[in-house]
Structure 1
Amino acid sequence: MIEKTVVVSMMGEAEERPVAVLVQIASQYDSKVHLVTGDKRINAKSIMGMMSMNFENGSELTIVADGADEEAAVNALSEYLTKNNK
């Protein structure tokens, strides 16, 4: 299991489209992938769960992955969530 904490920096807010893309990215990996913020731990492959997270630019999230491709999953989600930090 690995985890990485990131600060969200995306165009616009985490509305339906960015959340849907995030779920699609997470779903490409066999590993279990969760996003953690405060006391919430949400399955990153669950569209309903991700919609309930209500994260926005400047939010701090921890990406947690466990499985054969955990490092690739964390890296892909981290890159997507912080794409405007570059």
Structure 2
Amino acid sequence: MKEKTIIIPEPGLHPEAVSNLVQLAGTYVSSLTISYHGKTVDLKSILGVLSLGIPAGTEIKIIADGEDETDALENIADYFNKQKSA
């Protein structure tokens, strides 16, 4: 199991960003979860992630557990880094 802490860039996790993030998470066999303010949900669930209501500038934790956990965390972090530069 590995985890990574990420700061959410502007404009935050709006529905389109969540949809793209969930699609990305779905390409991995590892179990992926996202934690925010003491709540943890499946990163492969659009409704779960949306229910967290994560605003820009806040810190989240992504937890990956499985055979491709390293690749999953790296690519999810890259997704957020691309959001910063967009």
Matched residue type, 1:42 = V
RMSD between aligned residues: 1.6
Describe how 1:46-85 pairs up with structure 2 within 5 A.
46-83=45-82, 84=84
Shift of 1:81: 2.2
Q: What SS is found at the alignment partner of 1:52? A: helix
- What are the Cα deviations for residues 35-84 of structure 1, in whole angstroms up to 9, with x where unaligned? 11121101000011011011121110011000000011111111112331
Please give the TM-score of this superposition, normalised by the length of structure 2.
Answer: 0.90
- Structure 1 portions without partners, runs of 5+: none
Give me the identity figure in percent: 33
The structure 1 segments of at least 4 consecutive aligned residues displaced by more than 2 Å after TM superposition are none
Describe how 1:29-48 pairs up with structure 2 within 5 A.
29-48=28-47
- Structure 2 portions without partners, runs of 5+: none
Give distance in 1, aligned partners of 2:17 and 2:32.
Answer: 17
Please give the TM-score of this superposition, normalised by the length of structure 1.
Answer: 0.90
Could you tell me whether the CA contact under 8 Å between 1:63 and 1:78 is conserved in 2?
A: no
Q: Count how many residue pairs are aligned between Structure 1 and Structure 2.
A: 85
